[in-house]
Amino acid sequence: MKTTKAQEQVPLNDCAVQQMNINRRTVLLAGLAMMVPGQAVFAQTVWPARPVRILVPFSAGGAADTSARAFGVQLTELLGQNVVVENRSGGNAVVAASAALQAPRDGYTFVWDAANCLTNPVLVKDLSFDYEKSFLPITMAVRAPQVIAVREDFPAKNIQEFIAYAQAHPGKVSCGTPPSGGMAHLALALLQERAKIQLIHTPYRGGADAARDIMGGQIDSILITASSARGPVSAGRARILAVTSAQRSAAYPDIPTIAETGIAGYDMDDWFGLFAAVDTPASVIPRMQEAVVRAAHAPALIASMDQAGQVPVANSTNEFTTWLGQQRVLLQTLIRNAKITVS
């Protein structure tokens, strides 16, 4: 059938014109998507698109808080979004962990945790979640070397003499650590186990409290972070005998490690690491780990860590995960053997 001239010249109405324009835009956008594979998807998955939270399970002003805030400054610049550090202390660090698990699993909430994530399963009764199954390790951000120091007039001049004195006077030498069940307490328990000594453990709420008492001569010795020990050492009221790290501390290069003195493999630094709740988008974990690595190399952060007596680490996720597995076995066994409890 032939088309008439009148039929060929039927004008398009407004609706038809709009529909043609929509179809053209659809085809154009589809063509652009084909020309730049993944671009449309990428636009929907840009991270971070808003502020990021890091929950710290400890009070403001402590080693965990100061290190998290130092990293937070660098991460804010690197990520292009504010990184907000929130203190959620309480419950032997369980409060912060619970808050992270209750938050949306969208890659905007992290936890700056310590050894509590390894020890709480055997220290805290009726724990409502399983740390190992509930959290994804990202990186160990910081190591905080610990030291053993004695009051200025204590008879021992080095760690070997300290151990010998404690062996000769079982249950007579006091040693303060912060807090009960914390990494310093566990380091002390391991020293007693390996060196075959029995000390009087004196738990404190914080390192500053233990440092205050050794300055006043109320206790014989302390096992606290290097930064907390600076006050009494600088004042000449305490002497450092050894560091708990595997290697000597840059802050005290002339002080030997406990491992050097005959207790092979001893390595009991305090530390802080970054974790995310399970089911956090998989793409976020390597991005956050990479950002922490870059932050750890920033000169300003290195300077602030050195001043605080801490060491930036920022290792790989695999390295951190493997190390956590080894530490979990060591610390939980130590707690059970030493019958350590927390109130």
For 185-195, the pLDDT digits (tens) are 999 999 999 99
For residue 154, give the nearest of 241, 283, 62 by alpha carbon: 241
Residue 143 has pLDDT above 90, yes or no: yes
Angle at CA of residue 201, ends 195 and 204, nearest 5°: 135
Residue type at 291?
A
Domains of the chain: 52-144+269-338 (3.40.190.150), 146-261 (3.40.190.10)
Helix (H) or strand (E) holding 248: none
Query: Is 24 or 175 the better-scoring residue by pLDDT?
Result: 175
Residue 39 has pLDDT above 70, yes or no: no
Q: Mean pLDDT throughout 52-79?
A: 93
Residue 102 has pLDDT above 50, yes or no: yes
Max mean pLDDT range (205-214, 242-251, 320-329): 320-329
Residue 228 has pLDDT above 60, yes or no: yes
In angstroms, the CA 275 to CA 139 distance is 7
Q: Mean pLDDT throughout 277-301?
A: 97
How far is CA 277 from its chain centroid? 14
Cα–Cα distance list, 105 to 100, 293, 320, 321 (Å): 9, 23, 21, 20
Reading the block at residue 321, the tokens are 């995960």
Query: Is 32 or 108 the better-scoring residue by pLDDT?
Result: 108
Cis peptide before 170 (omega within 30 of 0): no
Mean pLDDT lowest among 8-17, 101-110, 311-320: 8-17
* Residue 63, Cβ density class (10 Å: 0-12 exposed, 13-18 middle, ≥19 buried): buried
H helices within 49-138, ranges in order?
63-79, 94-102, 116-123, 131-134
